[in-house]
Amino acid sequence: MLPEAASSYAPAVDRVFWVIFGLSAFFFLLIVAFLVYFVLRYRNNREVLPAFESVHLEIAWTVIPFVLVIGIFYLGWKAFVIQRAVPEQAFELQVNARQWLWEFRTPDGQVSVNRVVIPADTPVKVILSSSDVIHSFYVPAFRMKMDAVPGRYTYAWFEAKPGTYTVLCAEYCGAAHSRMLATLEVVPKEEYEKRKQPSAVPAAATSRDPVAWGRELYETKGCNACHSLDGTPGVGPSLKGLFGHEVRLQDGRVVKADENYIRRSILDPTADVVEGFNPVMPPFAGLLSEEEINALIAFIKSLQ
Amino acid sequence: MAMHEHHGLASFYEEGGNSLRSWLLTLDHKRIGILYLVSILAMFFLAGILALLIRTELLTPGKTIMDAEAYNRIFTLHGALMIFTVIIPAIPATLGNFLLPIMLGAKDVAFPRLNLASWYFYMAGTVLMMLTLLGGAVDTGWTFYAPYSILTRNAVVVVLLGAFLLGMSSIFTGLNFIVTVHRLRAPGLTWGRLPLFIWALYATSIIQVLATPVVGITLLLVGLERILGIGIFNPAMGGDPVLFQHFFWFYSHPAVYIMILPAMGVMSEVITVHARRPIFGYWAIAASSLAIAAISFLVWGHHMFVSGMSELAGAIFSFLTFFVAIPTAIKVFSWTMTLYRGQIRLRTPMLYALNFILLFTIGGLTGLFLGALSTDVHLHDTYFVVAHFHYTMMGGVLTGFLAGLFHWWPKMTGRLYSERWGQIGAVLYFLGFNLTYIPQFIMGSQGMPRRYWDYLPEFQGLHVLSTIGSYVLAVGLFVSLGVILHSLWKGRKSPANPWGGLTLEWQTSSPPPLHNFHGPVKVEHGPYAYDRVQAKEEVEEVTA
């Protein structure tokens, strides 16, 4: 019933879950057993049987559940303390949530959207903030969830096994809430050290096929949450067949979707809102490099 | 109590006629109860159709029948209508209005005009909520969390105003019931002889009067913030979004007890009558209603364990939350023991009462997972929560409402319904209900967040099961609706006391006359003295 337990404290949380499950199942079956027995035994009974009262029984079913729920509280609290107490010297991962993507910043200065690489078997403190409304950073495999609240910082932590894990937004945040996913790639420490070497990403990137790179950006920067490639409108218009065609805007203007239009729509989306859509896209100014914008334009051009 | 038919007073339907005016300006609590019943059933039908649209959309990941924005609006409207216009008023405003004065041996509630005003406030609030459908609807979720509810571009203020009016209506009803219970009990009806349904309505009314103003003010503050730009909850203007959650749940958690307590009251009546047995632990059940009312004010923070609230506050709220489990458990155990040595008749109301015990027990026990801090971190805002509150709110409140509706239908309308079809409806309801929500518990445990239009493909199998379940559930409800409507045209006339109940409403004709009784009322025994007083079951038919 529970997903893979991939964080250091997940097994402790799962133990609490199964203890409660066991107790609940026992009491449920007990009640069902009595109900079924009484209904079968006294169904259509025509005889007035003597009254039955028992103070002992009432005391028992008050005191026993009382002790049990206090026990459950204690177990839940004990595991919660582990979930909330961040070990010293943790790796600090800054996460900023916005409609509808996750921005990550690692201590070595790497910035990324919707995908981040993290060292395994290392305590990671997630410091959460939000640019607009409340979101919630939820990694089911870690049994970890924390709201990202605008105007303040919140935190959570984990120490994970190597693997690839999905981050979901758990607090309803608007149109593309269900598409606000990110990927945590947890790699062994040595591999993480190797990867974080300034492996000349920009240089390598400029030598890449811009269309393929643009497609990758489309998926990793969160564009795919709202813009389809097959012509179906989502929260935003589809990108299929967009380039070079005329676009009718909310205010009645008709513009041609050229390089400048696409660039402006990425960096300052509310400047030209397409007819029939709401001005809900966040601005990407500062989140994409020039090369990345060029690659995205090349990709959009290819979608004829 | 015998011979009442011979007094020959006309029923309240005949007295005063059936003109539109006689209904819309009536001060009779029974007619107001019927007005509420018709309005609430209509809203239940509408919000239920919205639920079926939601479940149909979730048959496949991505778009099935609607886009994300339409989906968000539909689940918001489903939640807001179900909570504010159906579940909160369902039992107090319909069964409570009709029966509370009769069960007290009174002619009417203490303030009949206030009672009628409450229905008009209800209608105004409901119409406002429906109006938003024309203007693009609202997509905030029924919880209106700030700052989303302040930033989103749609008719939030209209819905808030609607909810505010519905809150007023709820306060009116609560105030009326409190005064009526204190002032208008018949001679001999001591507090220790009050039917447990009355105790439950009394406890509910106290919460309604004390907690509803807080949410009313909170909703108005959101409205002011949107209209005037005052920064109360929006951090961009110096407000605090977590403060909104505190205000909101300070009402809305007690509100779940406003919803469930009356259903618990119905249970105590239905089980004792159809098991022809004194209630087990009268004082424990009555006191547990009041205990729930009191504790319900101290647990709101359990909705906020991952909101950024301090860990210490979380621990205190978690600790207090577990105290609610005790009075709830006492009630379930007491109802079960009431069946011991009973003369059980498995008529439709009793089947719904058994449904209630099973479904509500699951709802209560799954609350333990959410009250415990560490498991809540994982399960919060997932389908586990969705399933949990549907087991308590629908499996509890609406099942209790249906039990009460079938139990008192002959009294309210003077007609008997088809027992066999009523039973078929109850069984379909039970099967469909569990098929709908058990898969949601599993999905939630596996990490499927709520309010998701799109989802990861591995959840599709469980979503399909849940959707099929919702269709079975709908068929069960349509059968039940058909049964009661059919009884109005074709039903046999009901005797005064079809099931052999001992409370006062069974001692007057079905339906009762305008002033409820055919002569002076005097109470000489407790409401459940089935071991000492014998009342004949005037309808013997038990099909199952």
Our CA angle for B297, B301, B304, nearest 5°, is: 150
- DSSP, collapsed to helix, strand or coil, labels residue A123 as coil
Point out the residue among B152, B275, B534 whose CB comes nearest to the CB of A174.
Answer: B152
pLDDT over 90 (residue A286) = no
Taking one residue from A and the other from B, the number of pairs with CB-CB distance under 8 angstroms is 254
Q: Which residue has the tokens 């903030």?
A: A129
Q: What pTM did the predictor assign?
A: 0.90
Structural domains of chain B in order of their starting residue, each with its CATH number = 26-507 (1.20.210.10)
A132 is written with which tokens? 């607009």
A83 has a chain B CB within 8 A of its CB: yes
**Are B322 and A72 inside 8 Å of each other by CB?**
yes
Partners of residue B533 in chain A, C-beta under 8 Å: none
- Distance from the A244 Cα atom to the nearest Cα atom in chain B, whole angstroms: 27
CA distances from B123 to A24, B36, B89, B397 (A): 41, 9, 12, 21
Scan for tokens 């010293």, then name that residue.
A88
- A141/B contact by beta carbon, under 8 A: yes
Interface of A with B in 195-254 (CB under 8 A): 232-235
Residues of chain B with Cβ-Cβ distance to A278 below 8 Å are 69, 153
Residues of B with CB below 8 A from A58's CB?
281, 284, 330, 334
The alpha helices in B81-111, defined as continuous H runs, are 88-89, 97-104
How far is Cα A106 from Cα A88, in angstroms, rounded to an integer? 17
A26 alpha carbon, distance to own chain's centre: 34
The pLDDT of residue A207 is 64
Q: Considering only CA atoms, which of B197, B392, B207 is closest in space to residue B296?
A: B207
ipTM of the complex: 0.92
Instruction: State the pLDDT at residue B1.
Output: 38
Q: What is the DSSP letter of B511?
A: S
Q: Which percentage of chain A shows pLDDT scores above 70?
A: 96
Q: Does A147 touch chain B (CB under 8 A)?
A: yes
Decide if B462 contacts B439 (C-beta within 8 A).
Answer: yes
Measured distance CA(B508)–CA(B498) in Å, rounded? 12
Task: Name the residue with higher pLDDT: A51 or B365.
Answer: B365
pLDDT, position A44: 85
> How high is the pLDDT of residue B372?
97
Instruction: Return the residue in A64, A177, A250 with the most chain B beta carbons within 10 A, the one to mutate for interface testing.
Output: A177
**Quick one: DSSP state of residue B266?**
H
Q: How far apart are CA B10 and CA B526, in angstroms?
A: 29
Residue A66 pLDDT exceeds 90: yes
User: Is residue A31 less than 8 Å (CB to CB) from chain B?
Assistant: yes
Q: Are residues B281 and A54 in contact, defined by beta-carbon separation less than 8 angstroms?
A: no
Distances (CA, A) of B473 to A143, B238, B457: 33, 47, 25
Residues recorded for chain B = 544
Do the chains contact at A49 and B308, CB–CB below 8 Å? no
Task: With CB atoms and an 8 Å threshold, state whether A62 touches B311.
Answer: no
Contacts of residue A80 in chain B, CB cutoff 8 Å? 311, 314-315, 373-374, 377
What is the per-residue pLDDT across A110-125, written as a single tens digit (0 to 9) for each?
888 899 999 999 999 9
Cβ contact B502:B533 at 8 Å: yes
Instruction: Please name the residue of chain B whose CA is at the shortest distance from the CA of residue A177.
Output: B452
State whether B447 and A178 contact (CB < 8 Å). no
CB contact (8 A) between residue B344 and residue A44: yes
CA-nearest residue to B322 within chain A is A69
The letter for the amino acid at A258 is: D
Query: What tokens were used for B177?
Result: 């019931």
Of B400 and A218, the structure prediction assigns the larger pLDDT to: B400
What domains does chain A contain, in order, with CATH numbers? 10-84 (no CATH), 91-196 (2.60.40.420), 201-301 (1.10.760.10)
Tens digit of each residue's pLDDT (9 = 90 or more) over A227-261? 988 888 888 898 988 888 888 998 888 888 888 88
CA A45 vs CA A294, B419, B502: distances in Å: 83, 19, 19
Verify whether the Cβ–Cβ distance A145 to B381 is below 8 Å.
yes
From chain B, the residues in CB contact with A66 under 8 A are 326
- Count of other CB atoms within 10 angstroms of residue A291: 15
Nearest chain A Cα to B327, which residue? A62
Task: From chain B, pick out residues whose CB is under 8 angstroms from the CB of A146.
Answer: 306, 308
| Residue A37 near chain B (CB below 8 Å) | no
Q: What is the pLDDT along chain B (544 residues), one digit of tens a residue?
A: 344 444 578 899 988 788 999 999 999 999 999 999 999 999 999 999 999 999 999 999 988 999 898 999 999 999 999 999 999 999 999 999 999 999 999 999 999 999 999 999 999 999 998 887 776 678 888 888 888 888 876 678 888 889 899 999 999 999 999 999 999 999 999 999 999 999 999 999 998 999 888 888 888 888 888 888 888 888 888 889 999 899 889 888 888 888 999 999 999 999 999 999 999 999 999 899 889 888 988 999 999 999 999 999 999 999 999 999 999 999 999 999 999 999 999 999 999 999 999 999 999 999 999 999 999 999 999 999 999 999 999 999 999 999 999 999 999 999 999 999 999 999 999 999 999 999 999 999 999 999 999 999 999 999 999 999 999 999 999 999 999 999 999 999 999 999 999 999 999 999 999 999 999 999 999 999 998 888 888 887 666 5
* Residue numbers in A near B325 (CB within 8 A): 65, 69
